[in-house]
Structure 1
Amino acid sequence: MEPTSLLRLLFLTSVLCCTTNQASRTLSPSRSQVFSWSSVSLRCGEVDGADGWTLRRNTSRDTMTQCGVDWGQSVDSTCDISLTVTWDSGVYWCESTEGATSNTINLTVTDKPVILQSPVLPVTEGDNITLHCEAMMSADLPAGFYKDGSLIRTEPAGHMTIHHVSTSAEGLYRCHIEGLGESPPSWISVTGAPTTAAPLTSKAPPLTAAPPLTAAPPPVWHRLQLVFRLLTHLLVFCPYFICTVLAVSLYRHRPTGNHLGLDAGHDDVITSELLERS
C-alpha cells in the first residue's frame, strides 16, 4: 500500500474508532491479506441482537458502499465475496441504521505469490504476536521478516513470534520468501495494557478479519490456475506433435525406385547386359 493510502487509512480508522456511538459488533474473519480470486466471508458478529446492521467499505474505486447493493452478496449479517480482485482492497466496517459503527479493518487483496498474516486489531502490550508468511502454492517455506524496511530475522518455517510486545513493536511489517518475492506490508498497532479501573464495556468490540492460515489447502482458483497452465502447454505442444506426425507420414510414403515401374528382376537383367558389353 502506498504511504498516502496508508495515511488515509489511519485517519479514517481514528475517526471511526473515536465515534461516541460505537457499535456492539465485530467483523470476522480476522485475516488482513488474501490472494486474488479467493473467497472471503465477512460477518458483523451478533453481540447485542440489534437488527439493521450492514457492512460498508472504502476502496480506491468507491466510498461508503454497501454489501449486497454495490458489491458482494449479503445474507443476514454476513457478506460473501466469492472471487476477490485487487480493487476489493480497502477499509471495511459494520454500521447500524442509527449510524453506530464498529472498529475498522484493512483488507488487502493481492496478486503477488506471497502474503503476510498478522494481527488485524491493535495488540496489547505484553502479549505475544505471531506472523505467518504464506506462499500461494506452498506452506512453511523459509521467510525473512521485516519491520519498517529492516530485516528482523529469517525463520526456516515461515512463522515468527514476538514475545511480550511493547509499543516499540508498532510498525509496518512485511515478509519475503526467496525465489517467490515479498508480501504487501501490514501495519501492526500496539496499545497500552488496560487498567483495572477501566470498565470492561468501555471499549467497543474489535473488528476482526480472517484467521491466519498456516497449512490450509490452496484455494480452488490455484487448482484452476494449474489446469489453465496445463491446457496452455498442451495448446503449444499440439502443433509440434501434429507437424511431427505429418513429417513421419510423408517420409514413409516418399517415392522410391519401384514407384517408377522397375521391379527387382528387371534391374538384374539390365545389370547383366551391362557387364557382358563391358
Structure 2
Amino acid sequence: MEVTALCMQIFMNVFVLLLTKPDLSYTDQKPVFPLISPDRLQFFEYESVSVSCEEDKEVKAWRVRRKLHKTSSANDSDACSVPAASCSIQYVFESHSGEYWCENHEGEKSQALNISVTGGSVILNVSAQPVKEGSTVTLKCIQKDTEEPHFSDFYKDGIRFGSDYETDMTFRNVSKSDEGLYKCTISRAGESPESWLAVTSTEQGLYMIRKPVNCIFGH
C-alpha cells in the first residue's frame, strides 16, 4: 500500500509539472531554443552567423524558421530564407535582425531567439542560450575593430547598474531576478542593441526529457 501511494503521488506530481510547463512538452526531444553560432545574440554587419536545430542527430524533422523585423529583397534568397535543419549566413546585415526558432511539420515550435545585427560600433556579448540559476555569467561590451580597453556602462531594463573599464561585467550565482533586457554603451562609440538574458532552472538544459516512472499497481 505504501508503494502504491508513493507511485500515485509521483504520478500526480509529474501530471502537475506537465500542466505548468506547456512550452516544454511538445516532444521528448524538442529543442527549447535554436542553436546559434557564435553563441551570442548581437552581431556586427558582415559577420557570419549559423542557426541550427540539429542538437540531436536522430531528430531530422525540426527546421529553422524566422520572422525578420524588416523585410528586404537583400535577404530574400539567403540560406535561412528556406526552412532547413540548419543555415548559415556568410555576411549578415541589419535587415537580418529578427526572431529565429525551430519548427516541425506538425507546427510545433521552440521558443524564439531575437538576433540583433547592428551597423554601429558597439555590441553586447550576451549568451544566446539561457543560463542556469547559480552559474556565473560574464557580459562583455565590444567595440568594433579594436581590442583596446575602454570605459563601458551596462544597463538592465533601461537602468544603468554598473560601469567597468575592462569592458566585462560578471554575475556570480545568477537568479531569475537577473533575467531581463541588457545593453551597454561606450563613450564616443555609441550603444549596443538590447538583448534578453534568459535564466532557467531546468536541469536538462536545452531539452526537456520526460522519463517514465516504473510503478506496479495492484497485488
TM-score by length of 2: 0.69
Q: Which amino acid aligns with 1:88?
A: H
Show the 5 A alignment for 1:212-251: none
Q: Does the alignment pair 1:21 with 2:26?
A: yes
Residue 97 of structure 1 corresponds to which residue in structure 2? 105
Q: Distance in 1 between matches of 2:60 and 2:182?
A: 37
Q: Which amino acid aligns with 2:187?
A: E
CA RMSD of aligned residues (A): 2.9
Q: Distance in 1 between matches of 2:210 and 2:45?
A: 37
The residue matched to 1:87 in structure 2 has which SS? helix
Q: How far off is 1:159 after superposition?
A: 0.9
Counterpart of 2:85 (choices 72, 77, 80) is: 77
Tell me if structure 1 keeps the 8 A contact 2:183–2:192: yes
Show the 5 A alignment for 1:122-137: 122-137=130-145
Change over 3 Å in CA distance of 1:178–1:202 after alignment to 2:
farther
Give the aligned length.
Answer: 178
Q: How far off is 1:202 after superposition?
A: 4.1
Residue 157 of structure 1 corresponds to which residue in structure 2? 166
Q: Distance in 2 between matches of 1:202 and 1:172?
A: 31
Q: How far off is 1:124 after superposition?
A: 2.5
Gaps of 5+ in 1: 1-16, 63-67, 204-278
Task: Tell me which of the two structures has the higher relative contact order, counting C-alpha pairs closer than 8 angstroms and 6 or more residues apart.
Answer: 2
Q: Does the alignment pair 1:174 with 2:183?
A: yes
When you count strand as a share of all residues, which structure comes out higher? 2
Q: Distance in 2 between matches of 1:112 and 1:126?
A: 33
The residue matched to 1:21 in structure 2 has which SS? coil
Show the 5 A alignment for 1:135-146: 135-139=143-147, 140-146=149-155
Change over 3 Å in CA distance of 1:71–1:56 after alignment to 2:
farther
Identity over aligned residues, as a percent? 35
Q: How far off is 1:103 after superposition?
A: 3.2
Q: Which runs of 4+ in 1 moved over 6 A?
A: none
Gaps of 5+ in 2: 1-21, 212-219
**CA-to-aligned-CA distance 1:153-205 (integer Å, 9 cap, x gap):** 2222211111111222122211111110111111223334659xxx96149xx
Q: Which amino acid aligns with 1:153?
A: G
The residue matched to 2:209 in structure 1 has which SS? helix
**CA-to-aligned-CA distance 1:26-50 (integer Å, 9 cap, x gap):** 4232210001222212222240513
Counterpart of 1:42 (choices 48, 51, 55) is: 51
Q: Which has the larger radius of gyration?
A: 1
When you count helix as a share of all residues, which structure comes out higher? 1
Residue 214 of structure 2 corresponds to which residue in structure 1? none
TM-score by length of 1: 0.56
